[in-house]
Amino acid sequence: MGLETESIRYGDLNGDGRVNSTDYVLIRRYILRIMENPSDERMIAADLNGDGRLDSTDAVILRRMLLEILKYCPADTNQDGFVNEKSNIKYAGYFYDAETGLYYLNARFYDPETARFIQEDTYRGDILDPLSLNLYSYCHNNPIMYWDPTGHWPEWLDKRIESGNKWVNKNIVKPVVNTASNAWDTTTTFASNSYNYVSGKASDAITWTNNNVVQPTIKTVSNAPTWANDNIIKPIANKTPEIVEKIGNTAVQIGSHVLESSYEATQVIAPYTRFAMDVNKKTNPFYWAFDYATEKSWVPLPWGTEIVEKGFDIGGFYRADNGMYHAKQTGSLQSLKYIGYNNLYDTVFHGATSMNRARFPFTYDGKDYTFWAWKGDYLNLGAGAELGIYERAVVNGNPTSHWLINKDLAMPMTLTLDYKGQQILNYNPIKDDPEKYTRTALKTNKWWITGFNPYYENVRASQLTATYTVDFSDKKGMYDAFIKSDSFLDNRDKWSISNDNKYLLVLEFK
């Protein structure tokens, strides 16, 4: 169908002397290509304004040609692929109302003259897609690339929803189903193994448990103190000055005050909490079992003795050949530098058992130190006593109420413990420590000496007398500083100097 109209004479793009559907198709293609690649030499035929280049001006002219072709198409023909004007199904399959000149898109009417809908979209748009927030625009102002079959949103949104559904199914639903299936398989396998154990495969089950659970657990827990020190305590301690500096020195002082006063603060409630603990000891079967295992170093299980010994080893204790328990000097959580000692430890024990403590602070070479003595009923370990020497923790130049472990302070120490005038413990590390704990210099020197008799339980601290000796022969400067301190001079009823060795001090803690 050719058109001899002056207004569209430049629309004959294929040069056949007519403006028909072929030119219509070319016009649409030119519009698309101009927008995608204006430099394409094949599009030179679309340079309608003759300026030697293809730009948005040419695109506008091409669009107008397209509209003119559709406008002047005879209504009584359907030649060359044009839609008969008598049909109401027009562009993109939309219903066209010739009387109003509007298209109906199943939800609202569209005005082709203004390229806008005449009603707001009931779909309010997506804040992540700004173009969708215009409630009157058609297809994000890009009708060439999109169409709107519902009158609510362009076709690509449907595809995105479908794609999202596929993604959720692939990345969430299926993994959850697979995980549940695996969990069920694991549960049924465990139940089957348990049944086999009950049915007569106890030996295999015990061996498997030992190889795959007990031994790995023992190994993991044994390494826990070192791991905690390297990965938690040390990093935190290294950052402590920086953190404290940011928070302020006031926080350090408040914390120190709380630690210092915590022990005294529990004096009122301690008798009641100790009474509750005593009742628990006498009535709780689990405590009886724990107490029995401590005294016998055995539980009624395969490898019972090994389990008990390893448990105490992990907890930081070992048992001497005479049946007494002692705290390890290395390889335990309580031997790490920053664990140290403060009032909070005594506060906890004071509320749980009968105990007494004494502290003897002094200053040497510009640093603060303290001897900390303890005696009492150490729960399942029985009657015991301790003496340690610690160095004050200083944070950002501020002395705190926390005391650090410094193993360089270790000296030869001994400990004896009397219960109602009868000696129940006599500990000399040089003679009594097992060989596996005496392969270092600490076999003679102690920064913390401890001893506990599991055959004497539920005793009162007032019934115990602990006697310690500390040999300062290799630390004469510290010795001079201590015997001149108020802690020594004001407690001559507790401290004395040995007649055999000037640098050997004796502490009698009643």
Rg (CA), the chain: 45
Give 251-254's long-range contacts (Cβ < 8 A, gap of 24+): 252/395, 252/396, 252/398, 252/400, 253/398
Phi, psi of 15 (to 5 degrees): 75, 25
Q: What percent of the chain has pLDDT over 70?
A: 62
The model's pTM is 0.49
Does the structure show a pLDDT above 50 at 460?
yes
**Alpha carbon of 257 to those of 389, 400, 501: distances in Å?**
21, 9, 39
Are the beta carbons of 146 and 155 closer than 8 angstroms?
A: yes
DSSP 287-338: HHHHHHHHHHT--SSTTHHHHHHHHHHHHTEEE-TTS-EEE-SSSSGGGSTT
E strand or H helix at 160: helix 155-168
Tens digits of per-residue pLDDT, 31-52?
Answer: 655 555 555 555 555 666 667 6
Compute the residue count for the chain.
510
Question: In the chain, count of helices (H) and strands (E)?
Answer: 15, 16
End-to-end CA distance of the chain: 123
DSSP 75-142: TT--GGGPPPTT-SB-GGG-EEETTTTEEE-SSSEEETTTTEESS--SS--BTTBGGGG-SSBSGGG-
Does the structure show a pLDDT above 80 at 56?
no
Provide the 8-state DSSP code for 152: S
228 exposure class (CB count in 10 Å sphere: 0-12, 13-18, 19+): middle
Tens digits of per-residue pLDDT, 301-351?
Answer: 777 778 777 777 787 888 888 889 998 877 777 788 888 888 888 888 777
All residues at 6 or more sequence positions from 480 whose CB lies less than 8 Å from its CB, including other chains: none
Tens digits of per-residue pLDDT, 340-396?
Answer: 888 888 888 777 889 999 999 999 999 999 999 999 998 788 999 999 999 999 988
Helix 270-283 vs helix 343-352: crossing angle, to nearest 10: 60
Distance CA(202)–CA(212), nearest Å, equals: 15
Does the structure show a pLDDT above 70 at 498?
yes
Distance CA(501)–CA(496), nearest Å, equals: 11
Tens digits of per-residue pLDDT, 208-265?
Answer: 777 887 787 777 766 777 777 788 877 776 766 666 556 655 555 565 556 566 666 6
Are the beta carbons of 372 and 413 closer than 8 angstroms?
A: no
Helix (H, G, I), strand (E, B) or coil at 436: helix
The two beta strands, 116-117 and 413-419, are: unpaired
Phi, psi of 106 (to 5 degrees): 75, -20
